[in-house]
Amino acid sequence: MGFPASVGKYHLGRTIGEGTFAKVKLGLNMDTNHKVAIKIIDKKMVLDNKLMDQVKREISTMKLLHHPNIVKIYEVIATKTKIYLVMEYASGGQLSDQMFYLKRLEERDARKYFQQLIDAVDYCHGKGVYHRDLKPENLLLDGEGNLKVSDFGLSVLRKPGDLLSTSCGSPSYVAPEVIAHNNYEGAAADVWSCGVVLFELLAGHLPFEDRSLTNLYRKIARAEYTCPTWFTDTQRRLISRILDPSAIRRATIAEILEDRWFRVDYTPSAAMENEETINLDDAHKASDNTDEITQQTAGEKSHSFINAFQLIAMSNDLDLSGLFQKQENSNKKTKFGSKHSVDETIEKIGVAAKGACLSVERINNSKIKLHQIKKLARCKSLFNVSAEVTEVTPTNCVVEISKSAGELLVYNEFCRSLSSLLKENSDGSSDLQFPMASVEAGK
């Protein structure tokens, strides 16, 4: 289904991001001539998957937050089929894209981004908001190079001291107590994720990596990581205080703010006044059949979703074919199930890439970067796609395809080819997507 050329006072431009239930388009405020980002949410898909409460929670959370290092929401517009979230446009893109090209950041830049991240998270916690999915993909940069925290889809609003129980987030960035399925404090879990981000900014790679989720979680639970030789003593000390597997001993934000390395060239970000009041009536009207939406209790799981933490509890005879939801459109992040070993799966990714006229760059044992072959007439823009393979069992993997730039035509061709290859010699498997990060945003 196509999109209108304009919505309200906003002209819709090119797509700058895609997800399972939404697209993000560049918009232009025709009254002020200012660029905005417009997140277009498919109402039917959200209702069918019982995620309307999550959408409302994201809007309500963003409404509370007015900080220079947090993406602002300007307006909510709804039609019978779509919900439009008009948000601040961060022209610098994702921090993860910058890290890909630079590999690792200079200390000055890493410290600046970390300072702005801590300021934003401290502000959120002061409002009772816990993000729970902090990672470079959810950290944007504006035109002046300032960091902006985005994507509050897994956030939760709680009173200080209230414990959380839902295991959610992205495996490499999640705190040990979350993996252990214990009740946990949202503030301490967010601080851990900030520590992982800091390590990655300085090192150019994650502190905890493994193709096996079980081994990955074991490393996280024991805080088994090695600092690169170029880390300074002050950097090592701060990271060791943050990446403490004991949430009680872990550094708090107040302690981080007093750290000697952190305070170099530190200028605190000032919270902004509440400039606008967001009218949520349209968001509520977007769910005309609100009474028909099944309210999920804290213990219920949506049948369309399963998160990474549940996978390791499954048997070794895991049949991935039933875990994925079919989606015809190519997404910025698409996940496929593979009933092959990691090495076999990576070989198939290479074959699919060759068929789509893409070159393959092996980054490590589980991660691949795909590039367009130069001078192809049909490729009109740069192509930036990565593929990461995570082992679930010795003969089952999850393949995550991430696209931050490039032609949808080429991306679609690659995904179709990979889907077919992953189905070979696998009874019942299919090209069904696995939205691992889009899981429970409740308690």
Whether 302 contacts 296, CB under 8 Å = yes
Residue 140 CB neighbour total at 10 angstroms: 26
Q: Which two tokens stand for residue 299?
A: 């213990």
Residue 317 CB neighbour total at 10 angstroms: 8
Q: Does residue 275 sit in helix, strand or coil?
A: coil
Whether 130 contacts 158, CB under 8 Å = yes
Picking from 140, 7, 25, 14, the residue whose alpha carbon sits closest to that of residue 76 is 7
Strands (E), 131-200: 139-141, 147-149, 156-157
Q: Does residue 310 sit in helix, strand or coil?
A: helix
| Per-position DSSP letters for 226-250, written without gaps between them | ---TT--HHHHHHHHHHS-S-TTTS
Q: How are the residues of the chain apportioned to helix, strand and coil, as percentages rounded to the nearest 5?
A: 35, 20, 45
Task: Say whether 326 counts as a known binding-site residue.
Answer: no
Picking from 140, 122, 139, 143, the residue whose alpha carbon sits closest to that of residue 191 is 122
Rounded Cα distance, 172 and 151, in Å: 17
Rounded Cα distance, 110 and 112, in Å: 5
* Dihedral angle computed from the Cα positions of residues 42, 154, 52 and 35, in that order, rounded to the nearest 10 degrees: -40
Tokens 């816990």 appear where? 130
Rounded Cα distance, 283 and 298, in Å: 23
Picking from 334, 256, 293, 299, the residue whose alpha carbon sits closest to that of residue 167 is 299
Rounded Cα distance, 402 and 408, in Å: 12
Tell me whether residue 133 is one of the annotated catalytic residues: yes
Tokens 């079980």 appear where? 214
Rounded Cα distance, 278 and 58, in Å: 13
Q: Among residues 31, 42, 122, 133, which one is catalytic?
A: 133
Length reported for the chain: 443
Task: Specify binding-site residues for ATP.
Answer: 39
Active site residues: 133
Task: Specify binding-site residues.
Answer: 39
